[in-house]
Structure formats: structure tokens, C-alpha cells
Structure 1
């Protein structure tokens, strides 16, 4: 399978926000912003265990919303701040639909959509 026919996506994410970039059709040459997902985080809770469980559930929901924008992914490059990228890669490998996707990561500061599109285009070319 040539690089041109692979479903390639890029994700910039931190623990509260994600921008997903990809090609709208497999034949398209140009990457575009496909969507954004927000994770509001958990509100304060007097029970530490309940707060932790709620935070985990919100993170899983955040990951599922991101993955829903990237159906049948062949390759994904995840960039951003913190350790959330590694958690997202683990989520993908633990999900049967995405377990065969080739995943790469890098660290970067927050960038606007246009800059992310350029970054991901250069990564996959």
C-alpha cells in the first residue's frame, strides 16, 4: 500500500483539547482540520476515589471522541504537551479497530490549526 492510499491522521493534544487533522477522502492530497474535541476535566469532588474514577471516565470519553473522527486509521502522528499522547496511543493499541495502526509521537507546544496542518503534511511526506 503506497503512502498516498493510507488513511493518515495527525492529532495535537493536551489533557483538555485536541485538534484532529487528516484527509477528507483517501484520494485527497491535502490535509485539513477534521475537528476539535474538548475534555472539560472533572469538577471538584470531596471523595478522592470518586473524583479519580470520574477523571478516568472523562479521559476515556475524550479518547473515544478523538478516535471517532479517525475511522479505519492506518497511520497516526500524535503531538502535544504532557503525557496524554502516550495514554492516547495506549488507548488506540488496546482498541481492536485501531490496534494495527502505526503510531508515532512527538512533543510540541500548542499550535494553531494551519500550523498543525503544515506540520502533519511535512511529517507524512
Structure 2
């Protein structure tokens, strides 16, 4: 009988402005729980579009780093949400040395309550 390897699994729901991070209570065992939330503050109005894009990219990097900080030594990450932010986040993870071997999967889903997200992530890893 094969043993199920409870590796360091995480789930993230995100869009361009907010994220909810789900992981196991005891890092690699136990039930999935919400580990935290991250927000992308956005820079508001910017008259210079080029400066605006640079500022936005900088804020997005900061946002992604904030999310990644919850996922120490992740081995498997399920990223879900709306828009293209999940893809950008997966690319961001692939560029980070500590996540380069993490398996990332993505799906599209509307915003859900923390409780429903925990259920959703649990199903993704069962």
C-alpha cells in the first residue's frame, strides 16, 4: 500500500488586490487552515503612466513576497482566483530559489469565504 505523503502543501486564492493563504496547521500534517491574508495596496492615481506601471510592478512583487512568506518550504501550491494574477504569481514562485522545485497548479474560482477556501484546498490535495 502506498503511503500518502503529506508534503508541505499550500493553497492561495488571489486577485490583483488581495490574497488568502491556506496551509496545514502543523506545517505538513493536520487539517488545512487559513494562515493569513495579504493585500496589494495599489498606488492610487499616477499621472505618469510609465512610473505608474513600475510602481504597480513593485507593489505586486511586495504583495507576492508577502504571500510567499506564509509558505515556507512549499512543495505543492494550488493557486486559484480570478484574472491573470494567479499566472503572474506562479511565475513569481518559479523565479524564487526556495520555490523552484514546488509543484504549482492553478484553477479559476470566484472569491469564496475562508471556510469554503479551506474546503476547496483540502479537496485539491486529496
Q: Could you tell me the TM-score, scaled by structure 1's length?
A: 0.95
Aligned twin of 1:19: 20
**Structure 1 segments unaligned to the other structure (5+ residues):** none
In 1, the alpha carbon distance for the partners of 2:98 and 2:119 equals 27
Q: Which stretches of structure 1, 4 residues or longer, exceed 2 Å deviation after superposition? A: 2-5, 26-29
Aligned twin of 1:86: 87
**Structure 2 segments unaligned to the other structure (5+ residues):** none
Aligned twin of 1:45: 46
**Aligned-CA RMSD value:** 1.4
In 2, the alpha carbon distance for the partners of 1:119 and 1:5 equals 17
Q: Secondary structure at the match of 2:72?
A: coil
Aligned twin of 2:56: 55
Distance 1:27 1:66, change over 3 A: closer
In 1, the alpha carbon distance for the partners of 2:47 and 2:4 equals 51
Q: Could you tell me the TM-score, scaled by structure 2's length?
A: 0.94
Aligned length, in residue pairs: 125
